[in-house]
Chains A and B, each alone.
Chain A
Amino acid sequence: MTSILTYTFKNLPNTSKWALQFSVRPLSCSSQLRAAPAAQTKSKKTLAKPNMRNIVVVDGVRIPFLQSGTSYKDLMPHDLARAALSGLLHRTNVPKDIVDYIIFGTVIQEVKTSNVAREAALGAGFSDKTPAHTVTMACISANQAMTTGLGLIASGQSDVIVAGGVELMSDVPIRHSRKMRKMMLELNKAKTLGQRLSLFSKFRLNFLAPELPAVAEFSTSETMGHSADRLAAAFAVSRQDQDEYALRSHSLAKKAQDEGLLSDVVPFKVPGKDTVTKDNGIRPSSLEQMAKLKPAFIKPYGTVTAANSSFLTDGASAMLIMAEEKALAMGYKPKAYLRDFVYVSQDPKDQLLLGPTYATPKVLEKAGLTMNDIDAFEFHEAFSGQILANFKAMDSDWFAQNYMGRKTKVGSPPLEKFNNWGGSLSLGHPFGATGCRLVMAAANRLRKEGGQYGLVAACAAGGQGHAMIVEAYPK
């Protein structure tokens, strides 16, 4: 039904379009306010839906993304999240007590702050009356935080949401072995010396071997890099193509950084250290240098190397999301609408990183758009090989028919519109925080470069994926 409606919208002449909207949404107080400026943009329709609240992102920020083990290494995750929240408060001047709900995404949890959203919000001076929860969905955790917020606003539960994400890979929980933990827990319960001694007698030296977390699938025990290498091989993506793509990402990121386009970055004064103002993982190299690296996962002949993979990153991001009428009532000039979104999932072994391929046609269909309508693509770059494999999959009728149950391919995104300000390969990828970066990059690019629609897409561990349409807010 929706698609039929939107389709008619699309073919109507501009003048009657707004008249129709009026009739469909007569109760919306904001449509009048919106109508005037919107008419000035390109002739593309807006994705507003009847009987649905328009949801906007007022603004979003992130602290600089740093390679793990650098300036943030002595902090805790909630410190980073706090800094992002403070940056957001500073940027938007939002009164803390109007925030209805705070949601953060994170992947590797610090056990002391398992609800890191709450700890960070309290520390950042938000009202202790504002509830907060933490979500996790691997690399699309921040996306999940945002869309959870969208759900709260769309259903009328909330008007103002702060969504964000955080990851601190400099410190990860390394646990005692299960045997050691069991012994320690039993020791807790032991009352007499005899009981304790008998427990100690069961101690073996191998109890001390620690359990390390790995970026590996629980279901398949395969590390993500290994899977990416296999994926690249399955789609016959060459090492050189991967290196070239990685170089492109770094070069574009460098350019964007130099030109000051990464306006979502807010400085962070790290206690006891200098103020961090810039992402520090951007390092354009040369193809010759990159070609020298040995494969990191499938040795000795694989194609995924340290240079064409995203690196371990510390960072946090936060966004202020509101119902459009609320934002306008408060006098904000929103940056973008957050429109249709989808989550997808597929085989976690052989299609682990193909989320964007599955999610893109679905979200476009839902929004009634085609690839040609998209002006800014922001895809999460886990590995060069993963991005290029997704391009090939999106461009393959065979894959669409045999694995996605679609009649035709969706087509691969034009490179000139794709991750123009760098991506996760160069800017870094703090697992839980990347989603917000992608949305803000899309929103900021639409403002800067012109254009109406941005498409955000990402893959995630577990064989899951996500895509969302970001629509420029009329200037």
Chain B
Amino acid sequence: MEVMNEIWASDQIRSAVLISSKPGCFIAGADINMIASCKTPEEVTKLSQEGQRMFEKLEKSTKPVVAAISGACLGGGLELAISCQYRIATKDRKTVLGTPEVLLGILPGAGGTQRLPKMVGVPAAFDMMLTGRNIRADRAKKMGLVDQLVEPLGPGLKPPEERTIEYLEEVAVTFAKGLSDKKISIKRDKGLVEKLTSYAMSIPFVRQQIYKKVEEKVRKQTKGLYPAPLKIIDVVKTGIEQGSDAGYLSESQKFAELTMTKESKALIGLYHGQVLCKKNKFGAPQKEAKHLAILGAGLMGAGIAQVSVDKGLKTILKDATLAGLGRGQQQVFKGLNDKVKKKALTSFERDSIFSNLMGQLDYQGFEKADMVIEAVFEDLSLKHRVLKEVEAVIPDHCIFASNTSALPINEIAAVSKRPEKVIGMHYFSPVDKMQLLEIITTEKTSKDTTASAVAVGLKQGKVIIVVKDGPGFYTTRCLAPMMSEVLRILQEGVEPKKLDSLTTSFGFPVGAATLVDEVGVDVAKHVSEDLGKAFGERFGGGSVELLKQMVSRGFLGRKSGKGFYIYQEGVKSKNVNSDMDGILASLKVPPKSDVSSDEDIQYRLVTRFVNEAVMCLQEGILATPTEGDIGAVFGLGFPPCLGGPFRFVDLYGAQKIVDRLRKYEAAYGTQFSPCQLLIDHASSPNKKFFQ
């Protein structure tokens, strides 16, 4: 700001270029901690207004200011850029523009809600601000968000990145001069579509319709659980309908209100957690894993292969049969080809990435593997067999990772000659979409093995939690009691559709009944039997008989076309599988009326989940509550607006959760007994998982 004042004061300077000296980043947003340190909404409002004033001064600058953008230009960075007179961006993958505030439960609080609609039009501005999506430079140019693009350069007399920034600066300076000499106009030629939209937007009736439409859509998607999107709409509307003074005022006030919400605190907590879980706290492994081998070309194996080859890891995909292998190879190809269709890859890049994959039926080349990840069927004796086979062919340093969702790793490692090299890597399906990777270490797993597994996971783009070995590890273990409750609720006569709507309206992205179908009824049965054996009565509730009967009838969920619902290729709307009625009727149990209200049903599910999660921390399965929250949200779809089970306890209040558990305990018994750690938190209100 001081520099800007100097520029405005000096007669010698006629224009300016704003550029970041940090490669790969223009400005990735304001400091979230600055907002967190504010105690009252008034403080935040003041902060926001300061930002607004600063950018307004920039916007009204008589000397043209050009923003030269290379790398992330997000949040406050974008608000700064759109206050400048001209924007030039490098056209590379690292350069993205966006307003991710909504993902943190807040809104662009430094004039963004007012400037963006004017710059890119109301519909596009809503899209940006309500989804928080990153926009690549070339798309930004088409939208009118940037005025010029600069191509990234290759090697010259300096490293490419360095020279590219220099070149961006040179080009930006040329434009800055051109602007001050009035040789270049800041007015952009609008396309026909753009002209039509902006004309349509000048009609009040059309505008009202758009607000209404967007609001409806937001309400439907957020189910009223997230306040930020609605406030964004409101602020934009105020600015357009009542003028910019009202708009700016509303922006700063609503911004302040949002920063004080539980939702925002939950989402910001998740953001911090995600950053933490993208780091390797075990340090760099002794040997970087470059050659991967994956056993089993099923849904998981092929998915793991896909996220490996596109990061440049040489990957062997081995299966027992040619048909199975072919299916897996096709899955990888399709995953890559879909990116080509979305123009995220060129067909040439796809081919070159695909050449990192070697599909085979034998163990050829395993002598060069740095890590083997097995994703064969969940059967201990089978896993033992492949472990022995693999250990006969791999080099000494090679790590053996098991992708299992419930089989204890130490049982798998029992037959290993080198248990320090055995680790669990629990991926989530679909692997290319789900961000979480749960890494499981046994007592014997060496630190270097863990470091290497985390390094590979990070390379694959995963958010990683590292947990101790035990039945169901962390994620599956939390899910199991909740699933047991799901079965009981269904047995008590709640319709699958009703149950789904109760869970989604609580904030789960997928309804509970649908989740069983997606996971696979046979898998669910397997897991609940295994964990039922391990944990006994506490994991009881619904009857596994329900799942057994479904499996015997072939209702395996989505993969077999039938589960609680009927799945048909090309048909979007799901119909309830009426054949389930008989099974459900035969296993019906009478509901208990005092714990069967809609809210009680929701809390029966959530409190069992949360209680189990806290118990995992208590038992040392989890190292930190952060990992518990990240694992629950990114792996199991725990409502992000609640921030994860631990954040939820902090924000909702441990006492209230314990009270609920006690109430259900009275009805159903020990399955709902709160764990000691939770009771401790309830009895001393100062105790928080996150300070």
Asked if A and B are interacting partners, one says yes
The answer to whether A234 and B153 have CB atoms under 8 Å apart is: yes
**A392, B158: Cα distance in complex, Å:** 12
Q: Is A402 an interface residue (CB 8 A)?
A: yes
The answer to whether B174 and A301 have CB atoms under 8 Å apart is: yes
**A130, B398: Cα distance in complex, Å:** 59
Q: A233-B167, A234-B163 are in contact. Are A350 and B346 (CB under 8 A)?
A: no
- A residues 188-231 with Cβ under 8 Å of B? 218-221, 226, 229-231
Q: Is B148 an interface residue (CB 8 A)?
A: yes
Contacting residue for A350 out of B158, B160, B171, CB 8 A: B160
A residues near B348, Cβ cutoff 8 Å = 218-221
Chain A window 391-417, contacts with chain B (Cβ cutoff 8 Å), 1 for yes, 0 for no: 011001011001100000000000000
The answer to whether B154 and A351 have CB atoms under 8 Å apart is: yes
The answer to whether B171 and A236 have CB atoms under 8 Å apart is: no
- A residues 322-363 with Cβ under 8 Å of B? 347, 349-351
Least CB distance from A228 to B in Å reads 12
Enumerate 26 A-B pairs (CB-CB under 8 Å) in ascending A order.
Answer: A220-B346, A220-B348, A221-B348, A230-B153, A230-B154, A231-B154, A233-B156, A233-B163, A233-B167, A234-B156, A234-B163, A234-B167, A235-B156, A235-B157, A236-B156, A298-B151, A301-B175, A347-B154, A349-B154, A350-B154, A350-B160, A392-B156, A393-B156, A399-B156, A399-B157, A403-B155
Q: Is A440 an interface residue (CB 8 A)?
A: no
**A265, B675: Cα distance in complex, Å:** 95
B residues near A226, Cβ cutoff 8 Å = 151
A residues near B151, Cβ cutoff 8 Å = 226, 229-230, 233, 298
The answer to whether B346 and A221 have CB atoms under 8 Å apart is: yes
B residues near A117, Cβ cutoff 8 Å = none
- The chain B residue with its CB closest to the CB of A229 is B151
Chain A window 362-403, contacts with chain B (Cβ cutoff 8 Å), 1 for yes, 0 for no: 000000000000000000000000000100110010110011
Least CB distance from B670 to A in Å reads 64
A residues near B160, Cβ cutoff 8 Å = 234, 350
Least CB distance from B350 to A in Å reads 11
- B residues 165-207 with Cβ under 8 Å of A? 167, 171, 174-175
- The chain B residue with its CB closest to the CB of A351 is B154
Q: Chain B: how many interface residues by the 8 Å CB criterion?
A: 17
Interface centre among A219, A229, A301, by most chain B C-beta atoms within 10 angstroms, is: A301
- The chain A residue with its CB closest to the CB of B148 is A301
Least CB distance from A242 to B in Å reads 15
The answer to whether B154 and A396 have CB atoms under 8 Å apart is: no
B residues near A403, Cβ cutoff 8 Å = 155
- The chain B residue with its CB closest to the CB of A392 is B157
Least CB distance from A317 to B in Å reads 32
The answer to whether A233 and B157 have CB atoms under 8 Å apart is: no
Least CB distance from B160 to A in Å reads 7
B residues near A396, Cβ cutoff 8 Å = 157
The answer to whether A350 and B155 have CB atoms under 8 Å apart is: yes
The answer to whether B158 and A398 have CB atoms under 8 Å apart is: yes
B residues near A218, Cβ cutoff 8 Å = 348
**A171, B155: Cα distance in complex, Å:** 36
Least CB distance from B626 to A in Å reads 41
**A347, B352: Cα distance in complex, Å:** 13
**A292, B160: Cα distance in complex, Å:** 30
The answer to whether B155 and A351 have CB atoms under 8 Å apart is: yes
Least CB distance from A144 to B in Å reads 23
**A235, B171: Cα distance in complex, Å:** 15
Q: A218-B348, A220-B346, A221-B346 are in contact. Are A350 and B157 (CB under 8 A)?
A: no
Q: A221-B346, A234-B160 are in contact. Are A402 and B174 (CB under 8 A)?
A: no
**A419, B124: Cα distance in complex, Å:** 54
Instruction: Given contacts A234-B153, A392-B157, list 18 more A-B pairs with CB under 8 A.
Output: A218-B348, A220-B348, A221-B346, A221-B348, A229-B151, A230-B151, A233-B153, A234-B154, A234-B167, A236-B156, A301-B171, A301-B175, A350-B154, A350-B155, A350-B160, A351-B154, A399-B156, A399-B157
**A298, B160: Cα distance in complex, Å:** 18
- The chain A residue with its CB closest to the CB of B166 is A236
**A393, B157: Cα distance in complex, Å:** 7
**A221, B138: Cα distance in complex, Å:** 15
Least CB distance from B196 to A in Å reads 24
The answer to whether A389 and B156 have CB atoms under 8 Å apart is: yes
The answer to whether A402 and B155 have CB atoms under 8 Å apart is: yes
**A398, B156: Cα distance in complex, Å:** 9
- B residues 119-174 with Cβ under 8 Å of A? 148, 151, 153-160, 163, 167, 171, 174
B residues near A349, Cβ cutoff 8 Å = 154
- The chain A residue with its CB closest to the CB of B159 is A402
B residues near A301, Cβ cutoff 8 Å = 148, 171, 174-175
- The chain B residue with its CB closest to the CB of A218 is B348
B residues near A231, Cβ cutoff 8 Å = 154, 156
**A349, B352: Cα distance in complex, Å:** 14
Least CB distance from A231 to B in Å reads 7
**A396, B156: Cα distance in complex, Å:** 9
Least CB distance from B89 to A in Å reads 14
The 5 closest A-B pairs by CB, nearest first: A350-B154, A234-B156, A234-B153, A235-B156, A219-B348
Chain A window 159-178, contacts with chain B (Cβ cutoff 8 Å), 1 for yes, 0 for no: 00000000000000000000
- The chain A residue with its CB closest to the CB of B152 is A230
- The chain A residue with its CB closest to the CB of B149 is A298
B residues near A235, Cβ cutoff 8 Å = 156-157
- A residues 453-472 with Cβ under 8 Å of B? none
- The chain B residue with its CB closest to the CB of A219 is B348
- The chain B residue with its CB closest to the CB of A227 is B154
**A396, B157: Cα distance in complex, Å:** 7
Least CB distance from B16 to A in Å reads 18
Least CB distance from A211 to B in Å reads 15
**A229, B154: Cα distance in complex, Å:** 11
Least CB distance from B486 to A in Å reads 48
Q: A219-B348, A234-B160 are in contact. Are A350 and B148 (CB under 8 A)?
A: no
A residues near B148, Cβ cutoff 8 Å = 301
Q: A221-B346, A234-B163 are in contact. Are A350 and B153 (CB under 8 A)?
A: yes
- The chain A residue with its CB closest to the CB of B163 is A234
**A347, B160: Cα distance in complex, Å:** 13
- B residues 566-624 with Cβ under 8 Å of A? none
A residues near B157, Cβ cutoff 8 Å = 235-236, 392-393, 396, 398-399
- B residues 344-366 with Cβ under 8 Å of A? 346, 348
- B residues 300-328 with Cβ under 8 Å of A? none
- The chain A residue with its CB closest to the CB of B174 is A301
- B residues 427-469 with Cβ under 8 Å of A? none
Interface centre among A218, A220, A236, A392, by most chain B C-beta atoms within 10 angstroms, is: A236
**A77, B205: Cα distance in complex, Å:** 64
Least CB distance from A371 to B in Å reads 19
Least CB distance from A178 to B in Å reads 13
**A236, B164: Cα distance in complex, Å:** 11
Least CB distance from A225 to B in Å reads 12
Interface centre among B151, B156, B163, by most chain A C-beta atoms within 10 angstroms, is: B156
A residues near B167, Cβ cutoff 8 Å = 233-234
- The chain B residue with its CB closest to the CB of A349 is B154
Least CB distance from A25 to B in Å reads 44
- A residues 121-178 with Cβ under 8 Å of B? none
A residues near B163, Cβ cutoff 8 Å = 233-234, 236
Interface centre among B148, B151, B159, by most chain A C-beta atoms within 10 angstroms, is: B151
B residues near A229, Cβ cutoff 8 Å = 151
- The chain B residue with its CB closest to the CB of A300 is B148
**A1, B159: Cα distance in complex, Å:** 37
B residues near A351, Cβ cutoff 8 Å = 154-155
Least CB distance from B353 to A in Å reads 13
**A226, B154: Cα distance in complex, Å:** 12
B residues near A347, Cβ cutoff 8 Å = 154
Least CB distance from A464 to B in Å reads 16
Least CB distance from A405 to B in Å reads 13
Least CB distance from A237 to B in Å reads 9
**A229, B174: Cα distance in complex, Å:** 17
- The chain A residue with its CB closest to the CB of B164 is A234
- The chain A residue with its CB closest to the CB of B351 is A219
